[in-house]
Each structure stands twice: as structure tokens, then as C-alpha cells.
Amino acid sequence: MLDTARRTAFDAEHGLFRDQVRRFFDKALIPHLDRWEEEGIVDRDLWTQCGETGLLCPTVPEEYGGLGLDFRYNAVIDEELAYAGSTAGITLHSDIVADYIVVYGSEAQKQHWLPRMISGETPTAIAMTEPGAGSDLQGVRTTAIRDGDSYVINGSKTYITNGQHADLVIVVAKTDPSQGAKGTSLILVEADREGFARGRNLDKIGLHSQDTSEMFFNDVRVPADNLLGQEGAGFAYLMNQLPQERLSIACSAQGAAQRAFDEALAFTRDRKAFGKSVLDFQNTRFTLADLATKLQVGWAHLDWAITRHVAGELTATEASAAKLWHTELQGEACDTALQLHGGAGYMNEYLIARLWRDARVTRIFGGTNEIMKEVIGRGL
């Protein structure tokens, strides 16, 4: 269990909410993790169960059926989900997609979609990445060309989280390909539109229970009212929302790093070698001491970043630094913890194997860590 006694970003109400989240995960999530890993997808019922428990989109204003809370409640869910060893796509749904609709959606879009997102009736995705465009979002080739009172969408996307479950997708597309970034817009696409097709549930190194898919758009016609915000403002919207996305990744990374450490500590305490506990060897103690120190620094930094974000003060550079530092720590913690498990760490029956597999991608998605360094460097 995460030790939150010395956290500075949260108060008693967040503690009560965290207890609620833990109880729900203990009942509805953790018992099914191994099966979902094998099946490559969580049960659809998880979405509605999360909705019934109040775990989806907690920041959505009350007038749209939400709780009207601040991002700290999202952070609680992010940390606890990662600590539980799950990569279910509810964090993308709540931390990323919901905010795009709250901030940029029309009143009609908010009234229609947000209640359905909160209840879990409508899982969502955001389709940015393409086979030829990853961190460079200016390079997307999917088009959404205006035709009367509609947009006609053509193109393909890949590596889309919630790709199998999503009933609503925010599609990043060029409404004016001649304008580069200034011609980029965000379009809401319902999954039942003619011409829309999901590809396969992709076979990944990790994140096995998180459905990640290709998406194809073949003359998909949607009403012009499905435009999210203003035409041509999509790239600016993406840049504005990236700090929260990257902070969300940092929260999950820190939670997973702590779980890896806790698993290694418990294993080395119980495991015997040469007549004594593995933890009694100086190398083990020094290795864990070093990791414990970095985790202590990490929690302090994360609380600082969360507090700044809630106050509206977290900059894009600071968020990029948080994503960079915490995902690098996650990778180090998981690799170190697996090494301390010895041969057992390479066995899928131990949680550390899953944590290690799942950690690798966090240095890639949300903008690669090389891009994070570029963003930070530009701000020097």
C-alpha cells in the first residue's frame, strides 16, 4: 500500500477518496488482472463499474454530471492504479480526453458526451499517432476536409489506447493540409460511423491488458458540429493540454516505481541465500537505499508538480521535466527490482515481471523522453 502520510499535495478528503479507490480496486480490478493480461483487454464492465463508483472524470463540472473536483483526485486514481499493477485506459479517458471536451467542446457536445463518459457508458480515445507521425504531431497526414455541412475524414492511426473499447474518438486531422500545424483540427468521431474501422488489438511488449489498436478512416463523414473548438486550432489545443497529460504519466510512473521497490524489498527480505536473507547482503541494502532515496525525492517533486498544476502554474517545460524524470525513475526502479528478484524476476508469475514490461513504454508515449529533453532545452 502506498504510504501517503507525508504527502503535501493532498488533504483529508483526498485520503478518504484514496481509501475508496483502493477498496474498489481490491474488489473489481486486482482479482481479474491476470485474466485481463491473458485476454489482452479489460472487461467492458470495468468502465461502468468505475463510473458507478465515481472514478471516471472527477474534474468534470457538476452541471454535466461530474464531481467538479480538481486534478488531485485524478492523481490519486493514477497512482493507485499504477501501484495495483494495472494499465487500464481509464486514466487517458479521465485525464486527457475529458479535459479536451470540457475546455474546447461546445455546450451541446458537453451535454451529450460528458455524462456518458462519467458513467462509463462511452469509453473514449484520442487518435494522434500515425504510422509516419509519432512525437511530431505536425506531421499527421489524416485529413478532415469540409464538404458542405460535414467533414470527410481519411487516414489511419496507430497505437491508440482504448482502441477496441472506445465509442468516441478525438481524431487529430488536417482540415487544411497546406497550412501545416495551423491547418490541424480536432474532430469527434463516433465509432459507429460508416467508413470507420478498428484494426487489430496490437501485440505489445507490455501493457497487455490495455487495448491498443490501429484505426482506419475511409471517407468517414461526420457533421461539422463534431469539430472540437475552432478549425485550425487543433495543434494549439494539443500543446495546451500536454502538461496535464505528461503530469498524469509522471503520477503513474511514480506509483509503479514505488510498487517495484516494495516488491523487491519484500522479496529480498524473505529470500535466503548462503544461509541468510538476501536483504542482509550489503549490496542489496545499498542498492535499495539508493532507490529509496530517489523515490523520496520523486514523491516530493511529484507533490510540487501536482500543487503547481492545480494552481494553474505548472509550465510545459516543468511538466516535460516531470514526465522525463519520473519515467526514467520508473525504468530504473523496475529494472533494479527485477535484478534483485534473480531468476524469479524473469518469471511472469511474479508481479515485477509485469511492472518491468509495462515500464518500458512510458519513456516513449506522451512524447519520447528525447523530445522532453528538447522541450526543456528550448526553455533554457
Asked if 366 and 249 count as a contact pair (C-beta separation under 8 A), the reply is: yes
Pair 89, 141 in one domain: no
Q: What is d(CA 192, CA 369) in angstroms, rounded to the nearest whole number?
A: 35
Query: Which H helix or E strand runs over 214?
Result: strand 212-223
Pair 178, 251 in one domain: no
pLDDT at 135 (0 to 100): 65
Of 122, 146, 176, at which residue does a domain stop?
A: 122
Pair 246, 368 in one domain: yes
Tell which wins on pLDDT, 199 or 1. Answer: 199
Pair 158, 57 in one domain: no
Instruction: Tell me the three cell numbers of residue 109.
Output: 457536445
Q: What percent of the chain lies above the pLDDT cut of 90?
A: 93
Of 93, 122, 151, at which residue does a domain stop?
A: 122
Q: What percent of the chain lies above the pLDDT cut of 70?
A: 99
Residue 7 domain flag: no
Structure letter (DSSP) for residue 149? T
pLDDT at 114 (0 to 100): 98
Residue 35 domain flag: yes
Which CATH number covers residue 301?
Answer: 1.20.140.10
Q: What is d(CA 46, CA 54) in angstroms, rounded to the nearest whole number?
A: 12
Of 97, 122, 147, at which residue does a domain stop?
A: 122
pLDDT at 131 (0 to 100): 87
Which CATH number covers residue 218?
Answer: 2.40.110.10
> For residue 30, what are the contacts with CB-CB under 8 A and spacing of at least 6?
84, 85, 86
Pair 179, 306 in one domain: no
125: β partners: 169
Pair 243, 343 in one domain: yes
Pair 374, 251 in one domain: yes
Pair 20, 68 in one domain: yes
Positions annotated as catalytic residues are 245
> For residue 248, what are the contacts with CB-CB under 8 A and spacing of at least 6?
74, 75, 78, 91, 95, 96
> For residue 71, what are the contacts with CB-CB under 8 A and spacing of at least 6?
59, 95, 244, 247, 306, 309, 310
Q: What is d(CA 9, CA 14) in angstroms, rounded to the nearest whole number?
A: 9
Structure letter (DSSP) for residue 130? B
Structural domain boundaries, residue 108: 12-122
pLDDT at 180 (0 to 100): 85
Number of domains in the chain: 3
pLDDT at 134 (0 to 100): 63
pLDDT of residue 321 exceeding 80 = yes
Helices (H), the chain: 12-28, 33-39, 45-53, 71-84, 90-92, 98-104, 107-119, 234-270, 282-310, 316-340, 351-359, 369-378
Pair 130, 216 in one domain: yes
pLDDT at 5 (0 to 100): 83
Q: For the chain, what is the mean pLDDT?
A: 96
Residue 56 C-beta-side C-alpha neighbours within 13 Å: 28
Pair 208, 269 in one domain: no
pLDDT of residue 216 exceeding 70 = yes
pLDDT of residue 183 exceeding 90 = yes
**In the predicted model, what is the mean pLDDT of residues 193-216?**
97
Instruction: Tell me the three cell numbers of residue 291.
Output: 532507490
Point out the least confidently predicted range of 133-142, 231-240, 260-269, 335-344: 133-142
Taking only the tens place, the pLDDT of each residue in 295-319 is 999 999 999 999 999 999 999 999 9
Pair 167, 107 in one domain: no
pLDDT at 278 (0 to 100): 94
Asked if 166 and 212 count as a contact pair (C-beta separation under 8 A), the reply is: no
pLDDT of residue 139 exceeding 90 = no
Pair 339, 265 in one domain: yes
